[in-house]
């Protein structure tokens, strides 16, 4: 309303000025001045009045409006630093200002408030940003601590897994060791029982022969014969026990040298040409096939191995023949020695375990240590050979033991035969 009042006041002033000019015009004309001469004066006065009115309009309306438009444009661009009024804005000044000036001042107050709020907001954002950064730093540090802790836990877990694996392995080893110890303990117990039985078996006839001879119930010659026979049996049992102990302790020694098969078979034939049994005589037949070959062997040990098989066959055969047959297999580089008897054969229940310790089943009231074939198998395998047993097929009685030994030299000059 104040700006309208100012404009009305300006128009009244200009009207009064024109009215005064009109009233003064006749007086001026009366003194002899012409109208044409007065016209410039009137125009100057009119222009001055119009200029005054324009100045009033500029000062009261256009200038504040322009400042308001410029400020609004800056604010719309987000620039709150452009001021449209300088100086302090008080309540009294705001009340005394015109509508346009009051609008400008109100806009300026709004701009300053927004600027203040923006500063507060920026300060709050910076504070929150610093808090967030600090919080992030703390999180990063805690994450590092967690990573280190996790790495330690992983390491400890791996250590525990390794310890558990080692404990499992040790437990397995202990279980296997206990099983072996139990097996060895059982074998030791069985060995002691069998050894005691086999050692006692020949002692009883010896003591009986001595007792009968003392009473004159048998002649000294008969007593000595029985004592000699049972002493030999006792010596064999003792030798078997000693040999098994050496085999299992790894002290069973060998003196290996080049040996011709024909020479070996001749030695076997000489030692076992005729073997007497209670019911008849067993003869040994030699059947050599092919040329003579040489092996590397301990002659005495091989003789011991073959003799064990022959003596074992004698227990089964009665008034029969035991055949020794050799054959050189040049393709495989082996020589075969077969010991064939015509007895009843090996019982089927013991054939799969025939070469184990303490396996025995003879025709003489189950007598026997069950160690001879175990020793034979170890001797043959120590020479790089193999041994197997099977009952004869095609209706033939008896069993066949097959020994294979590596050939050292396939042919031997005739002068060495």
pLDDT of 11 > 70? The answer is: no
pLDDT of residue 223: 84
> Which of 41-50, 184-193, 197-206: highest mean pLDDT?
197-206
Outline where 215-276 has alpha helix (H): 220-249, 261-271
**Buried-state track 318-339, b at ≥16 Cβ within 10 A, e below 16:** bebebbbbbebeeeeebbbbeb
Q: Select the more confidently predicted residue: 355 or 52.
A: 355
| Helical residues (DSSP H) of 31-98, grouped into ranges | 35-57, 63-76, 91-96
157 vs 190, higher pLDDT? 157
How confident is the model at residue 365, as a pLDDT? 42
CA–CA separation, 361 vs 345, rounded Å? 11
Q: What is the pLDDT of residues 220-254, one digit of tens each?
A: 888 888 888 888 878 877 887 788 878 877 888 89
- pLDDT at site 362: 46
Comparing 30 with 106, which gets the higher pLDDT? 106
pLDDT value of residue 363: 39
pTM: 0.51
Count of other CB atoms within 10 angstroms of residue 294: 19
Q: Is the pLDDT of residue 311 over 90?
A: no
Topology annotation, domain 255-416: Heat Shock Protein 90 (3.30.565)
Task: Kindly state the tokens that stand for 2.
Answer: 């104040």
| pLDDT above 80: residue 27 | no
Q: What does DSSP assign to residue 257?
A: E
Domain parsing of the chain, residue ranges: 2-82, 164-237, 255-416
All residues at 6 or more sequence positions from 293 whose CB lies less than 8 Å from its CB, including other chains: 260, 261, 328, 335, 407, 408, 409, 410, 411, 412
Q: Are strands 321-329 and 281-288 parallel, antiparallel or unpaired?
A: parallel
Structure letter (DSSP) for residue 281? E
Q: How confident is the model at residue 8 (pLDDT cuts 50, 70, 90)?
A: low
| pLDDT over 60 (residue 384) | yes
Residue whose C-alpha is closest to residue 45's, from 23, 17, 13, 6: 17
Share of the chain above pLDDT 70, in %: 67
pLDDT of 187 above 80: no
The pLDDT of residue 331 is 85
Measured distance CA(39)–CA(19) in Å, rounded: 15
User: Nearest 5°: CA angle at 131, between 126 and 136?
Assistant: 120
pLDDT at res. 387: 94
3-state secondary structure of 409: strand
Nearest to 338 by CA among 306, 383, 372: 306
Average pLDDT over all residues of the chain: 76
* pLDDT single digits (tens) 48-88: 666 666 566 555 556 666 776 777 777 767 676 777 766 77
Q: What pLDDT is stored for residue 378 in this prediction?
A: 93
pLDDT at 417 > cutoff 50: no
Q: What is the pLDDT of residue 46?
A: 64
Q: DSSP class of residue 293?
A: -
d(CA 322, CA 343): 9
Interval 176-205 mean pLDDT: 77
pLDDT of residue 5: 53
Across 292-300, average pLDDT: 89
Out of 84-93, 139-148, 381-390, 401-410, pick the least confident.
Answer: 84-93
């Amino acid at each position: 309303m104040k700006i309208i009042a100012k404009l009305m006041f300006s128009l009244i002033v200009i009207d009064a000025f024109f009215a005064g000019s009109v009233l003064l015009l006749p007086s001026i004309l009366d003194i002899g001045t012409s109208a044409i001469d007065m016209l410039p004066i009137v125009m100057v006065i009119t222009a001055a009045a119009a200029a005054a009115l324009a100045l009033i309009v500029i000062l009261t309306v256009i200038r504040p409006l322009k400042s308001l438009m410029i400020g609004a444009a800056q604010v719309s661009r987000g620039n709150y630093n452009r001021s449209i009024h300088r100086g302090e804005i008080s309540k009294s000044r705001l009340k005394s200002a015109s509508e346009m000036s009051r609008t400008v001042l109100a806009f300026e107050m709004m701009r300053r408030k927004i600027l203040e709020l923006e500063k507060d907001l920026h300060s709050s954002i910076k504070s929150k940003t610093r808090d967030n950064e600090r919080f992030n730093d703390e999180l990063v540090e805690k994450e590092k601590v967690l990573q280190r802790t996790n790495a330690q836990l992983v390491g400890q877990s791996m250590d525990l897994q390794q310890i558990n694996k080692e404990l499992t392995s040790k437990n397995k080893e202990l279980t296997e060791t206990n099983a072996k110890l139990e097996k060895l303990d059982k074998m030791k117990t069985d060995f002691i029982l069998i050894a005691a039985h086999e050692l006692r078996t020949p002692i009883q006839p010896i003591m009986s022969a001595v007792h009968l001879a003392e009473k004159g119930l048998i002649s000294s010659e008969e007593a000595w014969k029985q004592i000699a026979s049972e002493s030999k049996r006792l010596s064999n049992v003792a030798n078997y026990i000693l040999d098994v102990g050496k085999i299992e302790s790894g002290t069973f020694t060998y003196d290996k040298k080049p040996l011709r098969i024909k020479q070996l078979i001749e030695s076997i034939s000489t030692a076992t040409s005729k073997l007497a049994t209670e019911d008849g005589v067993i003869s040994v037949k030699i059947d050599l096939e092919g040329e003579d070959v040489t092996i590397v062997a301990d002659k005495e040990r091989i003789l011991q191995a073959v003799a064990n098989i022959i003596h074992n066959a004698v227990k089964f055969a009665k008034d029969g023949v035991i055949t020794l047959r050799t054959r050189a297999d040049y393709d495989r580089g082996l020589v075969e020695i077969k010991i064939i008897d015509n007895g009843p054969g090996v019982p089927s229940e013991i054939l799969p375990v025939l070469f184990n310790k303490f396996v025995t089943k003879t025709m003489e009231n189950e007598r026997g240590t069950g160690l001879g074939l175990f020793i034979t198998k170890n001797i043959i395998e120590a020479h790089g050979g193999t041994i197997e047993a099977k009952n004869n097929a095609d209706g033939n009685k008896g069993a066949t033991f097959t020994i294979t030994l590596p050939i050292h030299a396939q042919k031997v000059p005739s002068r060495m035969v």
